[in-house]
């Protein structure tokens, strides 16, 4: 297991879950100052190399007690997570198993509870 990642430092938080059929839903949070969209694009480029990507949602916010902002996006794809190499992005990476769809509340609520409180 890698080092602990502080929510007020630059990092990428992510998870995936299986959907109906052969599809996967990815959730990514990029915490940075100016490069959030660039990093997110690099992640999506990796997925597009192997299959389709459909954008599901996006939200942004300010990380409390920090100069950084977060960018959250969800995507559906037919590409397995084994094709992703997030270490190429040269940022600390955390797989967050709680970053998922919920019966009560929403994944956006979960993300804001991490970074805005």
Helix (H, G, I), strand (E, B) or coil at 56: strand
Q: What's the confidence (pLDDT) of residue 1?
A: 46
Q: Whose CA is closest to 9, among 38, 29, 23, 24?
A: 29
What's the Cα-to-Cα distance from 88 to each of 14, 27, 39, 64, 85, rounded to whole Å? 15, 18, 10, 27, 6
pTM exceeding the 0.95 threshold for the entire prediction: no
Q: What's the confidence (pLDDT) of residue 103?
A: 81
Q: What's the confidence (pLDDT) of residue 3?
A: 67
Strand partners of residue 12:
30, 93
Two structure tokens written together for 34? 């100016």
Torsion of CA 43, 44, 47, 49, to 10 degrees: -110
Two structure tokens written together for 22? 């052969």
User: What CATH number has the domain spanning 11-115?
Assistant: 3.30.780
- In order along the chain (117 residues), what is the average pLDDT of each group of 10 residues? 80 94 94 94 95 95 94 96 92 95 88 91
> Rg for the chain (alpha carbons), in Å?
14
Burial of 32 (0-12, 13-18, 19+ CB in 10 A): buried
């Amino acid at each position: 297991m890698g080092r602990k990642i502080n929510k007020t430092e630059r990092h990428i938080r992510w998870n995936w879950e299986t959907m109906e059929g052969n599809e996967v839903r990815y959730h990514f949070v990029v915490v940075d100052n100016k490069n959030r969209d660039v990093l997110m694009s690099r992640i999506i480029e990796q997925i597009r190399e192997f299959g389709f990507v459909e954008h599901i949602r996006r939200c942004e916010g300010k990380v409390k007690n920090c100069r950084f902002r977060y960018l959250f996006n969800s995507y559906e794809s037919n590409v397995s997570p084994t094709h992703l190499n997030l270490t190429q992005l040269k940022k600390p990476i955390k797989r967050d198993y709680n970053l998922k769809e919920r019966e009560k509340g929403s994944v956006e609520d979960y993300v804001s509870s991490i970074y805005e409180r």
